[in-house]
Structure 1
């Protein structure tokens, strides 16, 4: 058995207090704290003065008064792809409007990229995320849009995470132009058959320029018949019925939520479906930011994720997303940190990550700061020092 005692923690974010506590209360802050890890799991967390006496064979790590918090849980990413869309970004920053159509250019680039290169880039993004404190990441397909290409994307994603989402219903590919219902038949049939063995989730982009709610329901119900949990992209570009679809089908999350009606918010507040907000998108597209304050005050469970993708949000940094959410979405630092850890875990329906409590996975982040507030207070500064994943240090930035 391997044991490590992490001690002299100035501020420990445990996320131990359940709702209906406020986010500040739910952080479960402890000062002068310590955490005991045994074989990749947390077995004890509390005041350092009360810590179990270490065995001579144990590793003792003194963090010198730093803040330690759960590893970030990034519950929405698209990091298996070929090429990039820097010219599109430059055009957008020069005044052109964002639309979902740019996805097709990444589909073409991805289809032309070998498995070896996709695997190399995917692992690079996962390492990049880990260096910024992300220890759990959901990875979507959606840049293949053929049976063979979607299968290889979910297969590659499954090499790096159990949180794999089949997103064949991202957009209608060029070869099915004008035949969206035929493409939905393919997604719900042969493509799903090929991808389901590697996936845990199924997702659909319910938006103008992508799929209708009726088409989305067909896809999600077909996924449910194969044991896949539901996720939904909705209300990114305009109000729509995608949120209602997500709630009706008990989807784990509905993501984007930029344009919500009062009825949408009431439905979310009365459901288990998490509203996953993606501030990197609005930062990179100059769309209005979602009103997180309105959702939280109504009792909606909110998660923050990166939506790391080559078109609308090419950032892998949840610390950056936390800072933007506090600055531009009406969130407090406590709410943003909770949403990027425990909120992300809720969006994946996980209880073993996003918290520092006995039994949870030993996924921890040590900051170069004595408070979680610095994640928003010092935007753009590399505050993540050490990162543990399952009790093993996976990043250690000098």
Structure 2
């Protein structure tokens, strides 16, 4: 059955025009047929819908594309609230805290990991995220890493093998030997369940040379590259990602002019993770500088137990507007179309004919309210593949 959403006060399509990069339509309507957008535009131009259909009156509210979260770590065991508390008391963030989650994850059963994974995925969906990428990286041995990518693949096709997250305790002072394991038996076990290969190219994690080995091995196995880089300090990892044609380089807190120029001239997206800076008290990246330089920017939550335990894209949008120099429209674009670009997807992130029917009805008249009213639950209804799966407004639908 078709669904016609009418009386939309502000529709953000993200289909650029000469006058508006964000494809904003006022007094709009959207027609959904099965799992796709059949039509979107001004309500006065809406086509006739033959046969039975469901009509949803948006009552002047805003509609945006479903959020595309292109960086998350949803499969893990344990809790690191004490570490967060210590940071708030002045302790500096360091990559080594990941190892405490590794022990808890290795000890957890599949059912325990699956239950938390699905709870977090549902939490994201309720806040408007309709597509999510999920990384491994809290196993750091062959069996556990394989478990993590297999479980992630139960809820998303966007699975990333991140065996090169940090060097596990049993390989202390033997990082190159651990990389041998990652690019050998561990990759063999994980590649069948993954689409992406990633590495944490950072002080306390892996060098540029080690990260290159990991990404090139993944590419040889048919996985597409992405990279964590420049989170804790300047890094040549950004230019490594560009050189290897990575879909995305993530964090980018510390970027030199050469890094920005390389990104702007490439097809590599820079994914900013404002929840990390909020949680670690690191400086926020200057998104205004990046956008003005022509860099394609995405926003993601980086949901993980250590450095960013938020699943809320509306929260990340509000922080990006408040502290990173983005306009509300730019932040929504980065959290939708930008995220789709970071996943090399052209079927999501926009509202246009033929695209997947992933939409969010806000309990607000404009997208600006996502930043204007931080912390307020403004997601009224979420459609995933054309089906209303979450929200407080489904009771208002009319069948015709």
Identify whether the pair has TM-score above 0.5, normalized to the shorter chain.
yes
2 CA distance for matches of 1:39 and 1:54? 13
Instruction: Describe the superposition over 1:329-367 as per-residue Cα deviations: whole angstroms up to 9, x where unpaired.
Output: 011111111000000000001010000001110000000
Tell me if 1:168 matches 2:160: no
Contact 1:134-1:318 at 8 Å conserved across structures: yes
Q: Secondary structure at the match of 1:341?
A: helix
1:75 to 70, 77, 91: 70
What is the alpha-carbon distance in structure 2 between the residues aligned to residue 332 and residue 9 of structure 1? 22
Alignment of 1:101-180 (within 5 A): 101-180=96-175
Ranges of 4+ aligned residues in structure 1 off by more than 6 Å: none
Distance of 1:291 and 1:96 partners within structure 2: 24
Matched, 1:278 2:273: yes
* 1:323 partner SS: helix
* 1-structure distance, mates of 2:248, 2:128: 22
Give distance in 2, aligned partners of 1:228 and 1:127. 27
The answer as to 2:8 corresponding to 1:13 is no
Work out which of the residue numbers 47, 56, 74 in structure 1 matches 2:42: 47
* Residue 3 (structure 2) aligns with: 4
Equivalent residue, structure 2, for 1:84? 79
Match of residue 333 from structure 2? 338
**Counterpart-to-counterpart distance in 2, 1:294 and 1:51:** 39
SS in 1 for 2:112: helix
Does structure 2 conserve the Cα–Cα contact (< 8 Å) formed by 1:232 and 1:255? Answer: yes
* Match of residue 254 from structure 1: 249
Q: Give unpaired runs (5+ residues) of structure 2.
A: 394-400
Give the count of matched residue pairs.
393
Find the partner of 2:373 among 372, 375, 378.
378
Q: Is the 8 A contact 1:280 1:313 kept in 2?
A: yes
* TM-score, scaled to structure 2: 0.97
The offset of 1:58, in angstroms, is 1.0
- Alignment root-mean-square deviation, CA: 0.9
Secondary structure class of the residue paired with 1:35: strand
CA distance in structure 1 between the partners assigned to 2:338 and 2:164 by the alignment: 25
How far, CA to CA, are the matches of 1:92 and 1:17 in structure 2?
42
Deviations 1:92-134 (A, max 9, x none): 1001000000000000000010000100100000100001000
Cα distance in 2, alignment partners of residues 277 and 199 from structure 1: 23
1:61 aligned counterpart, secondary structure: strand
Q: For 2:392 and 2:4, locate their aligned partners in 1 and report how far apart those are by CA, in whole Å.
A: 20
Task: Tell me the residue number matched to 1:223.
Answer: 218
Residue 169 (structure 1) shift: 0.2
> What is the CA deviation profile of residues 139-162 of structure 1, one whole-angstrom value per residue up to 9, with x for unaligned ones?
000000000000000000000000
In structure 1, how many angstroms separate the alpha carbons of the residues matched to 2:337 and 2:231? 23
Counterpart-to-counterpart distance in 1, 2:33 and 2:326: 35
Paired residue for 2:233, among 225, 229, 238?
Answer: 238
Match status 1:60 vs 2:62: no
In 2, the alpha carbon distance for the partners of 1:218 and 1:233 equals: 14
How many Å apart are 1:54 and its aligned residue?
A: 2.4
Q: 1:131 touches 1:397 (CA, 8 Å); kept in 2?
A: no
Equivalent residue number for residue 396 of structure 2: none
**Residue 80 of structure 1: CA displacement?**
0.3
Is residue 185 from structure 1 mapped to residue 172 from structure 2 by the alignment?
no
Cα displacement (A) at 1:397: 2.6
Separation of aligned partners in 2, 1:153 and 1:140: 8
TM-score after normalising by structure 1: 0.98
State which of 306, 326, 341 in structure 2 corresponds to 1:311: 306
Q: Is the contact made by 1:244 and 1:264 (CA closer than 8 Å) also made in structure 2?
A: yes
- Unaligned segments of structure 1, at least 5 residues: none
Equivalent residue for 1:363, pick from 347, 358, 362:
358
- Measure the CA separation in 2 of the matches of 1:145 and 1:301: 31
How many Å separate the matches in 2 of 1:47 and 1:288? Answer: 42
